[in-house]
Amino acid sequence: GAVVSQHPSWVICKSGTSVKIECRSLDFQATTMFWYRQFPKQSLMLMATSNEGSKATYEQGVEKDKFLINHASLTLSTLTVTSAHPEDSSFYICSASPVRTYGYTFGSGTRLTVV
């Protein structure tokens, strides 16, 4: 149980286009989801906390207009990278916290390459 599904697993896009990444909780409801970015050989960097039915809370230094987060239902949060540039190329991962007895679970990640 407590599975988080993330799609796509990898995507290549042209500079200037937008890319949407989906994060779904398959067997539980997630009022809160977290979006991370990870550079090679580094730990996870929290980008934002996604709250169902309200605006996301972004970490300092993260551009809200570039990384749009929508959490429209209790099982789906999306991250849209707008007007992507090569420097946005990275590994993006989502996470959710199911019931208190379980611990936080992560999606499989999305590797974004902007060319």
Residues that bind another protein (CB under 8 A): 6, 32, 34, 42-44, 46, 49, 91, 93, 95, 97, 100, 102-109, 111
Please tell me the distance from the alpha carbon of residue 110 to that of residue 94, in angstroms, as a whole number: 9
- The nearer residue to another protein, 83 or 102, going by C-beta atoms, is 102
- The nearer residue to another protein, 77 or 95, going by C-beta atoms, is 95
Shortest Cβ distance from residue 104 to another protein (Å)? 6
- The nearer residue to another protein, 6 or 25, going by C-beta atoms, is 6
Element (H, E) at 111: strand 110-114
Nearest in space to 33 (alpha carbons), one of 75, 2, 81: 75
Shortest Cβ distance from residue 103 to another protein (Å)? 3
Shortest Cβ distance from residue 19 to another protein (Å)? 18
- The nearer residue to another protein, 85 or 102, going by C-beta atoms, is 102
Please tell me the distance from the alpha carbon of residue 45 to that of residue 32, in angstroms, as a whole number: 17
Shortest Cβ distance from residue 83 to another protein (Å)? 25
